[in-house]
Structure 1
Amino acid sequence: MPRARDGSEHARDGCRTKGLSDSLTPLRRRLIASVKPKSLLPSRSLPPRRLLAIAAAAALFSSQGAHASSQTKHPKATLNGSEVVCPLGEFICPPRPDNFALCRPNGMLEFYDPFLSRDSALRASANTQVWADHVESPDQITYHLDGHVKTVRADQELHADVADYNSDTTDYDARGNVNYQEATHLVSADHITGNTGNSTGLASGNVRYQLLDSHGNGTALRAEMLDADRNRYTMASYSTCDVGGHIWELRAREIDTDDTTGRGVAHSATMSMYGVPFFYFPWMSFPLNNDRQSGFLYPYFEHTSRAGYQFRIPYYFNLAPNYDATLTPRYYSRRGAMLSGEVRYLFPRTSGQFQFEFLPHDNYNDQKLTPTSIDTQGRQRYLYRFVNTTSLWPGWSLNTNINRASDRNYLRDFGDDLFSISTALLYSSVYLNGAGNWWSASVGGDIYQNVDPSQPNSVEPYKRLPRATFNMDIPFARWYDVGLTSEAVKFHKFDQVEGSRIDLYPYVDADFRGAAWFIKPKLAYRYTGYSLDSGYQRYSYYGALPLPADPKAKSLSPFTQSNPSRALPILSLDQGLIFERSTSLFDTHYTQTLEPRLYYLYVPYRNQNNLPLFDTAPMAFDDWMLFAPNQFSGADRQMNANNLTAAVTTRLLDDGGVERLSATFGQIHYFTPQKVQSPCTVYDGTPRQNPNGCQATTDWRGSDYVVELSTQLDDQWTASSEYLWNPNTRQTDLGTFTVQRRLGFDGILNFSYRFRRGLLEQYQASTVYPLTERWRLIGEWTYSMRDKRTVEGLAGVQYEGCCVKVALVARHYVTGYYGVIASLPPGQKPPGSDTAVMFQLEFKGLGAFSGQTESVLRRDILGYQ
């Protein structure tokens, strides 16, 4: 069978017809070689597919083009561009693979047969089918085929005007309009000669080729088949654009391809766009498939006012199938040279990654921008992150998450998005975790680092070293469970009261339910005990002494016990009904549910003013607080309660069981006042607001009314809202509204409003608006009504053609922790802002690295893909 790989495949055994009669008439006949040719070699197996990796602008620097796989596993790019659309309401959608749907329909070489088998493993056992107008064999060894020659074996098909074949030497010679197809290649030429025994051959005259897996195609003066896996093209071109319509093209004196490595190598190559050369490479490497490969990734350009112009050129190291690395040299025009990198590994019992950024010498004085900034000129600046999970033995693992920065200005100076610069604390932890069928346990510790330049380091939460937990839940007697939630912690913080705490929470609960009802009683007992370190008398949970000389501040007394404790029972009863009926809306049939629910909670009051506040703060009231046993995070406070929550939910379910609408209304009724509180002020020389919030005593009879509504009546619209109204103050405490509209296949429109009384009021709008099939406008805008300023704004344009993608994006964002902006006193100047401009150019098929621009857009625009 002729095998024309990459324009140099040649007739293998397709005309081996030994034993056929010479007296055939000159009519078109169908000949079938019923005996497997002796020279037929077993078909080779293609290299295994691995992770998507490699990008080609790296070649801009005469390097090995490469592609690094992203942390998200992508579906393989298909020639027709098929892919899964990101569902409505998703927060972050995965990046799309290379999409060749915009290429010319059926943009193959004209002889492509889509019905030919793509399984090359069938060659070894397949018969060769031969068609020709005339067949001559004077010696039963040499065969001459003339007129409409066609041979087919498994995934291989050859067409020619004339072909000669020697069954002893397996030499072949095909002439005139030679077209060849196999599982991965198409090739056409005026003349192909070769030997099927050793898989060598030569194609000449108007050579054209196409790679079916990567959409690559081109032309050559000559194509040579070196062996079954390697090919060489002389005076050749290569592109992934439409055949005959190359927007970009690589022209080289010589191009070598190797299917075992999945790489192509071009010698003395020139890169051109729209026929205009713009780079020359003495040598470059590029991918032939989606396998992971070492080399440079796409460069990245950006400008910010705090760091100046930035240039990055990542280099990817494909070290092994289970570990790799990326090094990224960077240069900041204001601050100097930086090296960043990432190492990833995956072994049978451990996996993880290490990321770092290191600037050996900062050339810039931040005080030129902000007088209150820390002077970092001449200092080393760094940031690193280490995440690891190790399986020690069955049921037990060691989990590590370390995040550290050189100083609290780092993220503001080098962050280029709102997510980075709004991070106020870096969290680090190491835990040994274990779990079984009815239990779980952990031992370890966690610490925080302040990375908010507007706050002192005293805002860091307590270090919890060590910390141990043990939880169990054991079912018995069909309906019942007995369980325990427990924690033991040692707390450390400079110039604050320190000590240990143990929290025990045993319980017994039951779950009685039927098809349309449920009753879930629960009886628990909570004990929390402390052992405070020496010197505890010098502190209160308002701060260090001396206390203010204010008669009204009598409650600001120091701790008087080294071993305070609290113990109390907790009783709850959760019950509900579920009614269903058939209904219709807009001529569509639905199943409507009505689900009333009552939740009673009783917790006796205990005075807890003698207990320290280590890791506890009041939680903002929200819908899920309707059924929560405590309104405080952490174990230092347990609210008193004699409450009854009444709520009702209704849903609309379509015939497929999809929830198209859900509405909930509820409120808590307090039979006794809420007495347990956390301080509203702290004292560190002068009274100030507690940064952890406060919860004052109240005699309100009822909580906020809670209303929730979400709907997705079709596949184009989704909307959700939440509203909290306080009947006592007659004010709105919280209001949110989000709506999302899909525009065509890949367009999206989002609008949201967020309000929390005393904290924030924001509008946000974002869109990916398809102007045409190829052009998209991108925009995002977040505005704070409280601060009368834009928190973040983004505008850009994208173009995607058959083989090229271009993006230009400009971003404007605040350069301070946004939580600080919301709490600034009236008249105080808020943090500054910065502007970044990002440009990205991608040549499809030379790599699918999404780049910094893509990651920013996926994070900032809900549903971007």
Structure 2
Amino acid sequence: MFRKTISPLWLVFFLLPQLSSAEDLTTQKQSSEISEGSIEIEGDSLETLLDRKMKAKGNAILKKGNKTIKAEVIEYDEISEKIITSGITNIALENMSLRGSKLSLKLSDETGQMDDASFNFTPDKKQEKSSIRKGVVVTERSYDFRGDAKAIFFEGENKKRLQSARITTCEADSNDWYLKSSDMQVDSKTDSINASHAVVEFKGLPVLYTPYINFSLNKNRKSGFLSSTFGTTTKSGFDFQIPYYFNISPNMDATLTARYLGKRGPLADGEFRYLEENYSGRNHVQFMSHDESSGQDNRYSLSLKHRHKFGNGWSGYYDFQKVSDDNYFSDLATMITTTSVVNLPQRAGIDYSGDIWKLNFLTEKFQTLLTDSSRSPYQRLPQLKISAKKEYESFTLDLKSQWTYFDRDNKFTFQDDLGVTGSRFSITPSVTIPLTETYGFIKPKISTNIRSYNLNNLNGSTLSESKDIVTPIFSVDSGMYFDRSINLFNQKHTNTLEPRLFYVNIPYKNQSTLPLFDTGLSDLNMLTLFSENQFNGQDRINDANQLTAALTSKLIDSNGTERLSGVIAQRFYFEERKIFGSNINAKKTNSDLFLGAAAKFTNSLNIDGMIQYDPSDTKILRSTFASRYNPEPGKMLNLSYRMIDNIISGRDDLETINLAGQWPLGNRFYSIGRFNYDLKTSQPIEVLGGLEYDGGCWVARTVFDRLSLPTSPVPNYTLFMQIELNGLGAIGSDPNKLNYLLNRNVPGVRTVNEIPDVNRQANFN
């Protein structure tokens, strides 16, 4: 073996004999220490021509920096710094390797050509990012690319142009899909590819053509066309979208989408996002010039959101949402969180948060979409909140105050809605004296609620034009902690017992002449049992002379995992509650009985439940049971039951059963589904079913969704079909909408590419 090292400062010729294995290791180490500007040539034989050319034959190797070239014959011209090889040629770069029949390359400016080439690209795995989605840690993978080309032209450092090329992420023994292009440019510095007249072939069939496409090899953001998406719904027909992504800056981007709906016509969709150190926002606009299905012109949806930090505790925000007509969402949206929207907020505010004082100034209106049950909420024009909290060594002072002017849109009022408007001022100072020890606590609290009203538009009602009311409130919260060690199943556990008592005393105040601007009766549950006021809002404060008692017990293993827990709670009334009148049984001496339990039998199986039981009528008013089995990624079953027997309004009764999950079927197939059924009406609320196929370097998905709409008597049917080509993107339905649909219906679901490889391979057979 002969070796020659050429330095920019001097030329040294030397002859090396064949070395033993140990000497080879030492020599390789010395070679790696050669300066980056040096060139090292090796071969079975070396020839020099005219003192400027070096020719290595047989196992020829040329090294410069992080570049290594291997061929049968390498000829190097020191003056022009040009390399010519013959025979099979391999080039090893930092994250890319190339192989061709011959090579002509000028090292000084990285220009040249390789014929009949193949290549492999391995992105930097350190750039992979992990995020938490619905409680699941998900890693965005970078895929290894490989491909071939008729010729590769080197056009400068890190830049290569491929002629008649194709590229894929499939394994070497699989050619399931390729992206083919007559002209493809690769930038190794940015790990990006630009291709013109590109065709995606799947299983030998062309499935997509685009005159131009660019994408990143390592998930980096880059301006360009995103994968086109298509789908179908019963209300809009075929839905085809072509999005273009603008990577404006590292903290700012935009997406402009041309969308066509088969039954309605073209629609433009634009989104602009920005994120700075002190402010962030998202603006989303949709516009349809003419809806061929409904005959309406100029249909649009507008959403403008912004948050801003001014410094020194001050911040501001606005949230403005508006649509052109009441049926916009039910006609054009497919997500239940959108189709169920009835009130669109239009608000702006300023906040201040300090160590003691907090302030919020808000102005808020709503666009109410007209339905059979529409009732416009009160508008706050404006609202000012000021609060303060100061903790001293032995007591805590607290102050909450609010002034609001309430207005409303009268076109939504009903006969029982008098449309009263006006202002309300409320202030509640309080003092708490907490006494806390390791074994328990006691927290007495004294407060006073003061309200003042100035009303308009009474229209002969019994409400007072102006009214002042003062309500004193006294409460005591207390609890104790006990624990003991027990052996269960030959393992050490800690068993806790936590009793709690909460007493409230509020004198009765007649509030029948006061309006209900923003106030309603809260459900009695495990949380509201320990609140002073059962009403939410400021317009009503209940009278009370009551005690809530609760007992909680937990079983904790030696690792700190809570294996079993249970709680029982009930409220006891010492006086009749006058404020509720005949709405609920105010003569009861005790509330319903609340019981809850949770069990974690194994790390993969959780069960929990809650029951609200009326002992006087021996009737269960509310019950919830849920179980989750998740033995490994890609295997999950959720089963839940929910029942509400509303004692105030029977139309609000609820009884549903929900089954959702994901499970491998073998032979690379995965099932995904959800069945949400209303037992009261004997009708499905939402039904979702889907299949995923794991092709290794690609994934195929088909998902069907039937959704009952609260704004329409006719359900909406949606079919999602998608082929995801790993590393390139998805063809078919919108990935964002499909991922959102799956995560909302099956919490904790993982698509195939989010499942670890070891679990995926177990489903291949």
Matched, 1:843 2:710: no
1:538 matched to which residue of 2? 460
Residue 661 (structure 2) pairs with residue 767 (structure 1): yes
The answer to whether the Cα contact below 8 Å between 1:720 and 1:737 also exists between their aligned partners in 2 is: yes
Question: For the residues of structure 1 that align with 2:35 and 2:279, how far apart are their CA atoms?
Answer: 50
Cα distance per residue 1:248-294 (max 9 Å; x no partner): 11223332112455432334443322223344555443433322222
Unpaired segments ≥5 residues, structure 2: 125-142, 411-417, 647-652, 751-765
Partner of 1:411: 329
Name the structure 1 match of 2:92: 181
Bigger drift between 221-230 and 149-158 goes to: 149-158
Determine the C-alpha separation between the residues in 1 that align with 2:632 and 2:425: 56
Deviation at 1:530, TM superposition (A): 0.7
Cα distance in 2 between the residues matched to 1:816 and 1:13: 78
**For this pair of structures, how many residues does the alignment match?**
707
Aligned residue for 1:626, secondary structure, equals helix
What displacement does 1:135 show?
5.5
Distance 1:14 1:663 in 2: 79
Which residue of the other structure, out of 377, 396, 411, is the alignment partner of 1:481?
396
Quick one: distance in 1 between partners of 2:686 and 2:310?
A: 45
- Greater RCO, CA 8 A, separation 6+: 1
The alignment status of 1:344 with 2:296, answered yes or no, reads no
Report the equivalent of 1:443.
361
Q: Equivalent residue of 1:653, what SS? A: strand
Identity within the alignment, %: 27
Q: CA deviation at 1:134?
A: 5.2
Are 2:14 and 1:22 equivalent residues in the alignment? yes
The answer for the alignment partner of 2:744 in structure 1 is: 859
**1:277 and 2:192 equivalent?**
no
Hey, what does 1:803 align to over in structure 2? 697
Q: Which amino acid in the other structure matches residue 454 of structure 2? A: S
> Is 1:522–2:448 an aligned residue pair?
no
- Shift of residue 500 of structure 1? 0.6
Does residue 631 of structure 1 match 2:513? no
CA separation of 1:17/1:346 partners in 2, compared to 1, >3 Å: closer, same or farther?
A: same
1:358 alignment partner AA: F
The equivalent of 2:236 in structure 1 is 307
| Number of the residue aligned with 1:507 | 430
CA distance in 1, matches of 2:514, 2:706: 45
Is the CA contact 1:600–1:644 (under 8 Å) kept in the aligned structure 2? Answer: yes
Q: Mean Cα displacement is larger for which, 756-765 or 389-398? A: 389-398
**Cα distance in structure 2, aligned partners of 1:25 and 1:181:** 26
Q: CA deviation at 1:161?
A: 4.1
Map 1:413-812 to 2 at 5 A.
413-451=331-369, 453-456=371-374, 459-476=375-392, 478-493=393-408, 494=410, 495-533=418-456, 535-536=457-458, 538-539=460-461, 558-559=462-463, 561-677=464-580, 695-696=583-584, 698-758=586-646, 759-772=653-666, 774-812=668-706
SS of residue in 1 equivalent to 2:737: helix
Q: Secondary structure, in 3 states, of the residue corresponding to 1:496? A: coil
Task: Give 2:299's match in structure 1, choosing from 362, 373, 381.
Answer: 381
> Using a 3 Å threshold, how does the CA distance of structure 1 residues 724 and 323 change in structure 2: closer, same or farther?
same
Distance 2:230 2:17 in 1: 70
Answer yes or no: is the 8 Å Cα contact 1:403–1:428 preserved in 2.
Answer: yes
**Offset from partner CA, 1:648-668 (integer Å, 9 cap, x none):** 112233333333332211111
What is the letter of the counterpart of residue 636 of structure 1? D
AA of the residue aligned to 1:789: Q
Classify the secondary structure of the residue corresponding to 1:798. Answer: strand
Q: Distance in 2 between matches of 1:34 and 1:498?
A: 83
Higher strand share: 2
Alpha carbons of structure 1 residues 224 and 311: separation in structure 2 relative to 1, 3 Å? closer
Alpha carbon RMSD of aligned pairs, Å?
Answer: 2.9
1:195-218 CA-partner distances (Å, limit 9, x unpaired):
322223332345333344542210
CA contact (8 A) 1:520 1:575 kept: yes
User: How much does 1:749 deviate?
Assistant: 1.0
Instruction: Report the residue type matching 2:433 in the other structure.
Output: A
Q: What is the letter of the counterpart of residue 189 of structure 1? A: G
Structure 1 stretch 140-149 or stretch 396-405: which is displaced more? 140-149
The question of 1:832 aligning with 2:754 is answered no
Deviation at 1:36, TM superposition (A): 4.7
- SS of 2:300's equivalent in the other structure is strand
Q: 1:145 to 1:593 in 2, by over 3 A?
A: farther
Provide the C-alpha distance between the structure 2 equivalents of 1:802 and 1:642, rounded to a whole number of angstroms.
67
Q: Please, which moves more after superposition, 315-324 or 516-525? A: 315-324
Q: Distance in 1 between matches of 2:90 and 2:494?
A: 60
- Structure 2 SS opposite 1:218: strand
Could you report, residue by residue, the CA deviation over 1:359-404 in whole angstroms, capped at 9, with x for unpaired residues?
2223334xxxxxxxxxxx3343222211100222321111111222
Amino acid at match of 1:275: G
Asked whether the 8 Å contact 1:618–1:632 carries over to 2, the reply is yes
Q: Is the 8 A contact 1:323 1:344 kept in 2?
A: yes
- Mapped partners of 2:559, 2:61: distance in 1: 51
Gaps of 5+ in 1: 1-10, 41-127, 366-376, 540-557, 681-694, 818-829
Q: Tell me how far apart the structure 1 counterparts of residues 311 and 4 of structure 2 sit (CA, whole Å).
A: 55
8 Å contact kept, 1:131–1:151: yes
**Is this contact kept in 2: 1:529–1:564, CA < 8 A?**
yes
Whole-Å Cα distance in 2 between the matches of residues 349 and 141 of structure 1? 61
> Does the 8 A contact of 1:309 with 1:334 survive in 2?
yes
Kindly provide the amino acid, as one letter, of the partner of residue 103 in structure 2. I
**TM-score of the superposition, structure 2-length normalised?**
0.86
Instruction: Tell me what 1:545 maps to.
Output: none
Q: Please tell me the residue identity of whatever aligns with 1:25.
A: P
Say which is worse superposed, 787-796 or 804-813, in terms of deviation.
Answer: 804-813
Q: 1:212 to 1:670 in 2, by over 3 A?
A: same
Which residue is equivalent to 1:324? Answer: 253
User: SS of the counterpart of 1:630?
Assistant: coil
Residues in 2 aligned to 1:292 and 1:426: alpha-carbon distance in whole angstroms: 32
Deviations, residues 626-677 of structure 1 (Å, cap 9, x unaligned): 2111110101001111111111112233333333332211111111122212
Please name the residue that 1:230 is paired with. Answer: 159
Cα distance in 1, alignment partners of residues 32 and 49 from structure 2: 21
Q: 1:850 to 1:145 in 2, by over 3 A?
A: same
| Distance of 2:76 and 2:492 partners within structure 1 | 69
Contact 2:504–2:545 (Cα < 8 Å) also in 1: yes
Sort the Cα spacing of 1:492 and 1:166 in 2 relative to 1 into closer, same or farther, 3 A: same
Q: Is the 8 A contact 1:346 1:352 kept in 2?
A: yes
Aligned-residue offset at 1:164? 4.2
Of 699-708 and 847-856, more deviation after overlay is shown by 847-856
Shift in Å, 1:316: 1.9
Could you tell me whether the CA contact under 8 Å between 1:513 and 1:519 is conserved in 2? Answer: yes
Q: Distance in 1 between matches of 2:7 and 2:117?
A: 24
C-alpha distance in 2, partners of 1:279/1:537? 66
| Cα pair distance change 1:725/1:156, threshold 3 Å | farther
3-state SS of paired residue (1:428): strand
Q: Is the 8 A contact 2:4 2:13 kept in 1?
A: no
Instruction: Tell me whether 159-168 or 830-839 shows the greater mean CA deviation.
Output: 159-168
Q: Distance in 1 between matches of 2:70 and 2:577?
A: 88
1:429 and 1:447 in contact (8 A); partners too:
yes
With over 3 angstroms needed to count, the CA separation of the structure-2 counterparts of 1:436 and 1:152, relative to structure 1, is farther
Give 1:768 deviation, angstroms.
1.3
The 3 A distance-change label for structure 1 pair 144 and 794 is same
Distance apart, 1:520 and its partner CA: 1.7
8 Å CA contact 1:256, 1:266 repeated in 2: yes
Amino acid of the structure 1 residue aligned with 2:200: M
Contact 1:579–1:593 (8 Å) recurs in 2: yes
